[in-house]
């Protein structure tokens, strides 16, 4: 059995009040979260879904949105999130059934995810226990010594050929990622994605290159671009 954990509890502060809730915002007439769920349904890899919500008010709105778009028939559970992303993930992992073999952890602010990418990710995680979608960095990236000192900063070159931008979903053997997050909690670590949790117990991750744009809805400037991507792709 495989479970898709759908993260929807983010505060969306960088949206600057442009939308009330970025995972519920309408993109070409459909809430953002619906695109992610539909991609998982079409991929055929998930047996159940676990939506991580922010509060009771959002939980009700999410249920209403899924019902309106004919998704309420799916086996969907819900669990309240935490203050930070890593807290939300551990809350979700703690309620996943012990019968689960693999989990897919997906940020629903990435509505452009495709079923093809999810299936490729599933193939990798079955073999390697940890896999993530990512794309190679194409910009020249520089590192500075102090993030608050930008004037006349000393710029350190980084080898672009070794840099990859992480995406979601990220997929894992369930018992392995549960152990990894338990280690994160026990040691009080701060992480920003699930591969970092895996790395904390020495679990290496297979990168699955994603050739389809899969941007994250983060700022108001992302709205028009993501709507364009969704309207132009072939379903």
Give the total number of structural domains in the chain.
1
Laid out side by side, the sheet with 206-209 consists of 76-80, 48-53, 2-7, 102-107, 164-173, 130-136, 206-209
pLDDT, tens digit (0-9, with 9 covering 90-100), for 192-203: 999 999 999 999
Is 144 within a domain? no
Is 139 within a domain? no
Is 149 within a domain? no
Is 103 within a domain? yes
Domain that holds residue 111: 2-132+166-232
CATH label of the domain that carries residue 106: 3.90.550.10
Which pLDDT score is estimated for 68?
87
Is 161 within a domain? no
By DSSP bridging, strand 48-53 and strand 130-136 are: unpaired
The gap between the terminal CA atoms of the chain, to the nearest Å, is: 26
Global pTM value: 0.95
Strands, E, within 95-234: which ranges?
Answer: 102-107, 130-136, 142-143, 156-157, 164-173, 206-209
Which pLDDT score is estimated for 235?
47
Give the distance, in angstroms, between the CA of residue 203 and the centroid of all CA atoms in the same chain: 19
Segment holding 52, helix H or strand E: strand 48-53
Helix (H, G, I), strand (E, B) or coil at 110: coil
Is 198 within a domain? yes
**Nearest C-alpha neighbor of 21 from the set 60, 78, 79, 70:** 60
Tokens of 205: 């991750």
Greatest Cα pair distance, the chain, in angstroms, is 58
Under-50 pLDDT residues of the chain: 235
Measured CA to CA, the distance from residue 140 to residue 34 in angstroms comes to 35
Tokens of 217: 């809805």
pLDDT, tens digit (0-9, with 9 covering 90-100), for 176-192: 999 999 999 999 999 99
Is 158 within a domain? no
Which pLDDT score is estimated for 16?
61
Is 16 within a domain? yes
């Amino acid at each position: 059995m495989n479970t898709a954990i759908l993260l929807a509890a983010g505060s969306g502060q960088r949206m600057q009040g442009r939308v009330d809730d970025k995972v519920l915002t309408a993109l070409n007439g459909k809430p953002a979260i619906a695109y992610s769920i539909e991609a998982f349904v079409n991929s055929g890899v998930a047996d159940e879904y676990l939506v991580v919500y922010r509060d009771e008010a959002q939980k009700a709105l999410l249920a209403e949105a899924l019902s309106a778009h004919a998704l309420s028939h799916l086996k969907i559970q819900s669990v309240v999130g935490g203050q930070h992303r890593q807290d939300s993930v551990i809350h979700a992992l703690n309620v996943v059934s012990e019968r689960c073999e693999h989990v897919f952890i997906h940020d629903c602010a990435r509505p452009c995810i495709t079923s093809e990418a999810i299936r490729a990710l599933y193939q990798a995680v079955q073999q390697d226990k940890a896999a993530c979608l990512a794309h190679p960095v194409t910009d020249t990236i520089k590192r500075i010594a102090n993030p608050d000192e930008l004037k006349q900063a000393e710029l350190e070159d980084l080898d672009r050929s070794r840099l990859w931008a992480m995406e979601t979903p990220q997929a894992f053997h369930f018992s392995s990622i549960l152990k990894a997050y338990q280690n994160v909690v026990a040691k009080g670590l701060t992480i920003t994605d699930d591969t970092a949790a895996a790395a904390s117990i020495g679990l290496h991750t297979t990168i699955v290159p994603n050739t389809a744009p899969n941007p994250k809805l983060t700022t108001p400037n992302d709205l028009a671009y993501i709507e364009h991507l969704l309207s132009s792709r072939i379903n």
